[in-house]
Amino acid sequence: MSAKKKIKHTTDTATGKAKEAAGKAVGNESLVAKGKAQQVKGDLAQAGQKAKDALKH
C-alpha cells in the first residue's frame, strides 16, 4: 500500500472515531452515525489495499 493511501485511510478512521466521540459527548446522534460511517469507510479501504498488496506478492 502506498504511504499516501495508508495515511488517508488511517486518517479517515481516526476522524470517524473523533466524530463519533464528539457526537456522543454532545448527544448528537447524526454526528455519531457519520463518525461510524467514516470509520467503516476507512477500515474497508485499508482492507482493500491490503488485499491488493497480498495479491501482488
Q: Which helix (H) or strand (E) holds 30?
A: helix 29-56
Angle at the Cα of 19 (from 16 to 20), degrees rounded to 5?
A: 85
Question: Side chain identity at 38, as an amino acid letter?
Answer: Q
**Each residue of 22-32: pLDDT tens digit?**
999 999 999 99
The answer to pTM > 0.85 is no
**Each residue of 8-47: pLDDT tens digit?**
999 999 999 999 999 999 999 999 999 999 999 999 999 9
pLDDT of residue 3: 84
pLDDT of residue 11: 93
Measure the CA–CA gap between 27 and 22, rounded to whole angstroms.
8
Measure the CA–CA gap between 45 and 47, rounded to whole angstroms.
5
pLDDT of residue 1: 58
